[in-house]
Amino acid sequence: MDNIYYPREAVITDIKEETPTIKTFRFELNEPLAFKAGQFMQLTVPGIGEAPFTPSSHPGKVGEMEITILRAGRVTDVLHNEVKVGDKLGLRGPFGKGYPLDKFKDREVLIVGGGVGLAPLRSLIYALFDHIEDFSKVSICYGAKTPEDQCFTDEYNKWKGMPKTTLNLTIDKPHPDWKGTVGLIPCLLEEEKLDVDIKKSYAVSCGPEIMLKFVTFKLLEVGFKPEQIYLSMNRRMSCGLGKCGRCNIGPYYLCKDGPDMCYADIKDYPNVFG
């Protein structure tokens, strides 16, 4: 489809409740749609509006797509409370550049996610697993408020079972059903817990901006250089084309230059973390 302003038809084939506030929607597409891990789509709810979301599904599946959505506003309220399997929505895109997988080859990849921020990273995880032999190691660190707020829990054992892959989890506060690490996500990045060869690694993080800020500071503290840190910054990307001027960080527009930005490129601008 050549018209970038015209949504493609997408039929909802499944809705899965990940947490009380997060759902994964699976769509069947009326024509093949390829995307790179980290690129985003504009999802249209007819009569309501559209909003940007990064697919959480395998980027190699061109006939279907999954998008994991946190209930957080007008469009997402309708998605969570009114749409159902069989409904037809619209998709525009993909937009953005996606993760620089070629740069990650022969390196360790540290993935740091918080809350629904694991959704775009899930697509990256699938892409890394497809060519796991090209990477030295994949280390996944994920944090959520409580055990009930964790996404994709039925996949954790599969991830841990992949070659050269580790998974470390934490929740924000103690919980009677939780025996693992307790603390905000930067606690998994302490030197004594981080089993990563920092000089031969790249770190990729996605989550709320306040989380990205403190994850970035912790990564710098333990020895990562700005050039080794990539941040998925899904912020107010209304048009997807760098025209509306709402998603800029300095001279960069997240919708076309990102949304996955190297920290070295944006670190000196005052609005880097909102």
Do 119 and 55 belong to one domain?
A: no
Q: State the total domains in the chain.
A: 2
Mean pLDDT of 181-186: 96
Do 211 and 121 belong to one domain?
A: yes
Do 191 and 72 belong to one domain?
A: no
Taking only the tens place, the pLDDT of each residue in 6-30 is 889 999 999 999 999 999 999 999 8
Do 74 and 128 belong to one domain?
A: no
pTM recorded for the entire structure: 0.94
- The CATH number given to whatever domain includes residue 71 is 2.40.30.10
Percent of the chain with pLDDT strictly greater than 90: 82
Residue 7 in contact with residue 95, Cβ under 8 Å? Answer: no
Say if 269 falls within a structural domain.
Answer: no
Q: Which of 95, 124, 158 is the last residue of a domain?
A: 95
| Residues contacting residue 157 through CB under 8 Å, at least 6 positions apart | none
Do 52 and 164 belong to one domain?
A: no
Mean pLDDT of 167-180: 95
- The CATH number given to whatever domain includes residue 126 is 3.40.50.80
Do 132 and 49 belong to one domain?
A: no
Q: Which domain holds residue 14?
A: 8-95
pLDDT band at 2 (very low <50, low <70, confident <90, very high): low
pLDDT at 104 > cutoff 60: yes
- Report, in angstroms and rounded to the nearest whole number, the Rg of the chain calculated over CA atoms: 18
Do 165 and 124 belong to one domain?
A: yes
pLDDT at 6: 83
Do 225 and 148 belong to one domain?
A: yes
Say if 240 falls within a structural domain.
Answer: no
Do 107 and 213 belong to one domain?
A: yes
Do 134 and 163 belong to one domain?
A: yes
Do 160 and 177 belong to one domain?
A: yes
Q: How far is CA 49 from CA 27, 33, 39, 59, 202, in A?
A: 18, 21, 20, 25, 36
Say if 238 falls within a structural domain.
Answer: no
Say if 42 falls within a structural domain.
Answer: yes
Taking only the tens place, the pLDDT of each residue in 86-98 is 999 999 999 999 9
| Lowest-confidence pick of 33-37, 163-167, 237-241 | 237-241
pLDDT band at 234 (very low <50, low <70, confident <90, very high): confident
Say if 197 falls within a structural domain.
Answer: yes
**Residue 235 or 126, more confident:** 126
Say if 257 falls within a structural domain.
Answer: no
Say if 217 falls within a structural domain.
Answer: yes
Say if 243 falls within a structural domain.
Answer: no
What are the structure tokens assigned to 39, written together? 């690129």
pLDDT band at 271 (very low <50, low <70, confident <90, very high): confident
Mean pLDDT of 106-124: 97
What are the structure tokens assigned to 24, written together? 């994964």
Do 130 and 159 belong to one domain?
A: yes
Residue type, 60: G
